[in-house]
Amino acid sequence: MSSKTSPTHDIVIVAPIQRYPFFRECLKSLSKCNFGDRIVNIHIGIVDDEQFKDVLNYPTKIDLNFLKEINGLKIYYFKKNHYPKNLNHIFRQCSGDYVIKVDDDVVFEDKKWLIKYENVLTSLDLGFVAMANRRKIIDSVNGIGLCETFTGSVMMISRMVIDKIGYWNEEYGPFLWEDLDYKERAKISGFKFKYICRHSNCGVKMYHCETFSGCPEDYKKLINNSSKYLYQNVIEMKNKSHHLILDNFKKYEKGIGLYCK
């Protein structure tokens, strides 16, 4: 943790440019949030992948001038839609006490969501908190409802987790399942986590759009491979000791850019 009085946060969003209507609303809602005395940097990675130009049915008229209105915004451009790899590129630029992965189809209706997420994390001494994708509340912390189910749409990750288990597993390219993989690795490394209900006293709106339903065929094959890899890898992680799992991930270090300490 930083020695600074005010904690620092890095918010990371990676979005295909064809999803402009979604990430525009996401960033607009972030620009209106109240972060208190916290230092917050917002990082957005914009992906302009030629293979997706004709398959995502979103408006083609895109105006990125609104980005200039957002304070503390850093912009990155990518030519390939490889979500975990693009995430890793940005995460390595982040030095905050907390790094928050945010999906581009999230809108923050509660202006103090970040303060509430941090409060849950620090109150319970957690490694990370994430948004839950169900309504059923099983517990609460300072009026914030907690659920059992997990989604990686909003994940506030402490620096100590990143320092210990590293970044996102790029084997899950081009997208999907990297968040579940990260959760399992954090669990194996001894970190605790909770899931915050988006319908409780911490309003977050999430669009359930079929983002990749019209993907090119080669991308569909890669997604299918990611699904198989998730199943095999998570089963393996649950059946091996902590040290063996880290050794297993270290062997990917040079090949896919995963860094484990």
Question: Mind listing the pLDDT tens digit for each residue in 28-73?
Answer: 999 999 999 999 999 999 988 776 665 555 555 677 888 887 877 8
| pLDDT of the residue at 55 | 52
Residue 159 in contact with residue 97, Cβ under 8 Å? yes
DSSP category for residue 256: H
pLDDT averaged over the chain? Answer: 77
Q: 195-226 pLDDT, tens per residue?
A: 888 766 677 777 655 455 555 566 556 555 65
Closest CA to 211 of 254, 179, 175: 175
Q: What backbone torsions phi and psi does residue 8 show, to the nearest 5 degrees?
A: -110, 145
Residue 100 in contact with residue 167, Cβ under 8 Å? no
| pLDDT of the residue at 126 | 94
Q: 92-122 pLDDT, tens per residue?
A: 999 999 999 999 888 998 899 999 999 999 9
Q: Is the pLDDT confidence value at 124 over 90?
A: yes
Q: 167-180 pLDDT, tens per residue?
A: 998 877 666 778 88
The per-residue DSSP string of 10-27 comes to EEEEEEEGGGHHHHHHHH
What the chain holds in terms of domains, given with CATH numbers, is 8-256 (3.90.550.10)
Number of Cβ atoms within 10 Å of the Cβ of 120: 20
pTM for the whole thing? 0.79
Residue with tokens 């990371």: 12
Residue 96 in contact with residue 12, Cβ under 8 Å? no
